[in-house]
Amino acid sequence: MTPSLLNALLMLPALLLLAIVFAWPLLDSAWLSSQASSVLTGLSPIANHGANWQRLLGDARFWQDAAVTLRFAVVSVGLELLLGLAMALLLHRPGRGRGWLRALTLLPWALPTTVLALGWRWIYNDPYGPLNAILRACGAAPYGFLTTPATTWLFTVLADVWKTTPFVALLLLAGLQSIPAELEESLVLEGASPGQILRRLTLPLLKPWISLALLFRLAQALGVFDLVQVLTRGGPAGSTESLALYAYLNAMRFLDFGYSATVVIATFLLLVVLTALGWLLLRRRALEPSR
Amino acid sequence: MKGLLLLWSLAPLAWQLYTSLVTPEALVSGSIGPTGSFWTLENYRQVWLADPPIWRYLLNSAVVGAATTALTLALAVPCAYGLQRQGGRLRWAVTLALLATAIFPTVLLFLALLQLARTLGLANNLLALSLPYAALCLPLAVLLLRAAFAELPPDLEDAARLEGLNLPQRLRHVLLPLLAPSLASTAILVFLFSWNEYPIALTWISRPELLTLPPAIARLAGSSLFTVPYGAFAAATVLGSLPLLLLVLIFQRSIVSGLTQGAIKG
């Protein structure tokens, strides 16, 4: 047996399972999006010649959810990168108890999202939650964190930032550890300030890690589901309903599998376009000569 | 700065712990009259004796987690070994596929996977749940283990081959013992993922006594947004977090180094 054939055989079982669980569902959903399959058809698929896609184009709820999801993803990923960088720099500094500090800050990332979302619902509770207790102590009126349509999305962002920033920090910490300490020492000898070191040395060398964290978090945030499903159920007034939640509701509540598949594929396409765009943008930046 | 970071990370968790340990009256008023008591274990008693009891969900999650971890490692080790030794276009294509699947938000798979489960009769089967879970964990596991294989000295395997050991023997007696730290951190990350996965468990499992922890917690949350027994919820979240909390604190070194080392070399 040639080495190449042996390698391929060793990889085959894993790749086969990946194909069944990733590639097949996408193909199946793409096909199903061209079919009517709902309670009206007895849940058996009947070709409906693009009617699902036509409906999608005119579906105000879909477009609102797309805007909600995009807003959520851009704002929370942006904040996560900024805070994650600060957190990584802090965790990178030598000092006593550094291992414990890393483990404890990692906890929000390690615990189940549904569990934490339920916890945040209590923190945001109006009027008994701790945030409203603080407001009351300051003499302010209690605030409906989860019942005010104009602002509730901000509090889903806050819960997401709290939960996933440690992951971003961990990735960037890996990047920091790959930077040779001598480089920083030589800049210190030249009399560079911490800000200059960050700008001239750390950030340029962290670029690949920042890109990786950005792509990963952007894709995950565009598929946000667990958090909004438990924290707000998409409310109030649909102001936090994500595309993934809409796809789920179409299948499991409205029992319209054909349209659910259409929303899934539309979300997938949006995801591919946006992450490709992000990647191209990052690559172009990386090719520019650094100062 | 470090104190601020700890406060930010731990305060919401501490609040859950506090909520789980006090009476509903204490939660609402912040203080309690001379006759009432402040601290209580009643919330824990309630979720422990509920129907189905919380330990049932913990047990289900542990079973799925163990099965997923075993299956993932069994598939990921040969794949990572093959990928590390393979060169050229196939290596590039497989790595790219692994990266793409690693960042893919898995919730988009739920609809087709649900149909697959119904067609194959895999719904309401805890062990079957480990099939999609293993697939979702494989990209990360293979990438981490490939990086670990790359670290081993290349002469080592040649020497073992000259000794007449075949591939399974080389893996078992020479390579894998050296990879133990990477295997451990990969296993922990896989278990963590399995413990936390929600959309697939939500759609595959409908029988209450078979629910894993995340859908069980979400089902609790399904009651009204306004009058909910937050004390009991908090007790459930504390009990549901405890196993992972211990895991992270005990294995903090291998989790952090596993992820960071894998990312550096991968």
d(CA A32, CA A49): 11
pLDDT confidence of residue B265: 53
CATH number of A48-120+154-287: 1.10.3720.10
B119: domain CATH number? 1.10.3720.10
pLDDT confidence of residue B227: 53
d(CA A164, CA A98): 20
pLDDT mean over B115-139: 93
Q: Which of A152, A129, A123 is nearest to A142 (CA)?
A: A129
Asked if residues B122 and B128 have their Cβ atoms less than 8 Å apart, the reply is yes
pLDDT mean over A142-157: 94
pLDDT confidence of residue A99: 83
Nearest CA in chain B to A179: B264
Taking each helix axis from N to C end, the angle separating B2-21 and A60-92, rounded to the nearest 10 degrees, works out to 120
pLDDT confidence of residue B226: 47
Residues 82-111, chain B, touching A (beta carbon < 8 A):
82-83, 85-86, 90, 94, 97-98, 101-111
pLDDT mean over A266-281: 90
Q: Which of B169, B185, B178 is nearest to B150 (CA)?
A: B178
Asked if residues B65 and B191 have their Cβ atoms less than 8 Å apart, the reply is yes
Give me the percent of chain A exceeding a pLDDT of 90: 62
pLDDT confidence of residue B32: 54
Q: Is residue B31 part of a domain?
A: no
Q: Is residue B10 part of a domain?
A: no
Kindly state the tokens that stand for A248. Answer: 């789920």
Q: Give DSSP secondary structure letters for B186-245.
A: HHHHHHHHHHH--HHHHHH--SGGG--HHHHHHHHHTS-SSS--HHHHHHHHHHHHHHHH
- CA distances in angstroms from A219 to A62, A135, A182, A236, B149, listed in the order given: 18, 35, 36, 25, 28
Question: Is A67 at the interface with chain B, CB within 8 A?
Answer: no
d(CA B220, CA B223): 6
d(CA B236, CA A121): 14
Q: Which of B210, B207, B216, B206 is nearest to B236 (CA)?
A: B216
Q: Which residue has the tokens 């409203």?
A: A132
Q: Considering only A113-127, A138-152, B14-28, which range has the smallest mean pLDDT?
A: B14-28
DSSP state of A201: I
Residue A151 has pLDDT above 70, yes or no: yes
pLDDT confidence of residue B57: 94
Name which of B10, B85, B91, B107 to mutate to probe chain A: the one with the most chain A Cβ atoms within 10 A of its Cβ.
Answer: B107
Taking each helix axis from N to C end, the angle separating B213-221 and B54-85, rounded to the nearest 10 degrees, works out to 130
Residues 109-138, chain B, touching A (beta carbon < 8 A):
109-116, 131-132, 134-136, 138
Average pLDDT, chain A: 90
pLDDT confidence of residue B224: 47
Query: B198 contacts in A (CB within 8 Å)?
Result: 112-114, 225-226, 229
| N residues, chain A | 291
Asked if residues A99 and B253 have their Cβ atoms less than 8 Å apart, the reply is yes
pLDDT confidence of residue B43: 86
Residue B217 has pLDDT above 90, yes or no: no
Residue B260 has pLDDT above 80, yes or no: no
pLDDT mean over A147-171: 95
Instruction: Find which of A43-52, A68-77, B111-120 is predicted with most confidence, using mean pLDDT.
Output: A68-77
Nearest CA in chain A to B249: A103
Query: Using CB atoms, which residue from B82, B108, B192 is nearest to A264?
Result: B108
pLDDT confidence of residue A291: 38
pLDDT confidence of residue B256: 75
Name which of B20, B90, B101, B111 to mutate to probe chain A: the one with the most chain A Cβ atoms within 10 A of its Cβ.
Answer: B111
Kindly state the tokens that stand for A236. Answer: 């109030």
- CB neighbourhood size of B104 (10 A): 21
d(CA A74, CA A1): 50
Residue A40 has pLDDT above 70, yes or no: yes
Residue A288 has pLDDT above 70, yes or no: no
Asked if residues A50 and A128 have their Cβ atoms less than 8 Å apart, the reply is no
Q: Is residue B111 part of a domain?
A: yes
> Structurally, how many domains does chain B consist of?
1
Expressed as residue numbers, the domain containing B97 is 39-265
Residues 34-53, chain A, touching B (beta carbon < 8 A):
none
Q: Considering only A117-131, B14-28, B200-214, B222-236, which range has the smallest mean pLDDT?
A: B222-236
| pTM of the shown model | 0.91
Which ranges of B22-85 does DSSP label H, i.e. alpha helix? 24-29, 42-48, 54-85
Q: Chain B: nearest CA to A242, how far in angstroms?
A: 12
Are A4 and B86 within 8 A, CB to CB? yes
Are B252 and A103 within 8 A, CB to CB? yes
Instruction: Find which of A1-10, A45-54, B68-77 is predicted with most confidence, using mean pLDDT.
Output: B68-77
Query: Using CB atoms, which residue from B12, B28, B94 is nearest to A123?
Result: B12
Q: Is residue B13 part of a domain?
A: no
Residue B13 has pLDDT above 70, yes or no: yes
Q: Which residue has the tokens 């934490």?
A: A116
Q: Is residue B32 part of a domain?
A: no
Question: Is B147 at the interface with chain A, CB within 8 A?
Answer: no
Greater pLDDT, B220 or B86: B86
Query: B101 contacts in A (CB within 8 Å)?
Result: 18, 22
- CA distances in angstroms from B128 to B20, B71, B192, B210, listed in the order given: 34, 11, 18, 12
Residue B151 has pLDDT above 60, yes or no: yes
pLDDT confidence of residue A290: 43
Query: Using CB atoms, which residue from A15, A166, A275 is nearest to B94?
Result: A15
Greater pLDDT, B124 or B224: B124
Nearest CA in chain B to A144: B226
pLDDT confidence of residue B228: 61
Report domain extents, chain A.
48-120+154-287
pLDDT band at A246 (very low <50, low <70, confident <90, very high): very high
Give me the percent of chain B exceeding a pLDDT of 90: 46
d(CA A109, CA A167): 6
d(CA A191, CA B211): 60
Which ranges of chain A does DSSP label H, i.e. alpha helix? 3-18, 24-32, 51-57, 60-92, 98-110, 113-123, 130-137, 152-177, 181-189, 194-197, 203-222, 226-231, 243-252, 257-287
Q: Which of A21, A210, A226 is nearest to A118 (CA)?
A: A226
**Sign of the torsion angle spanned by Cα atoms B220, B221, B224, B228:** positive
Q: Which of A276, A219, A272 is nearest to A26 (CA)?
A: A272
Rounded to the nearest 5 degrees, what angle is found at the Cα of A178, between the Cα atoms of A174 and A180?
A: 145
Per-residue model confidence as pLDDT tens digits over A162-178 = 999 999 999 999 889 88
pLDDT mean over A224-233: 94
Q: Is residue B26 part of a domain?
A: no
The answer for A238, left when phi > 0, alpha when psi is -120 to 50, beta otherwise, is left
- Its ipTM equals 0.89
Name which of A65, A90, A115, A260 to mutate to probe chain B: the one with the most chain B Cβ atoms within 10 A of its Cβ.
Answer: A115
Instruction: Find which of A266-270, B33-37, B216-220 is predicted with most confidence, using mean pLDDT.
Output: A266-270
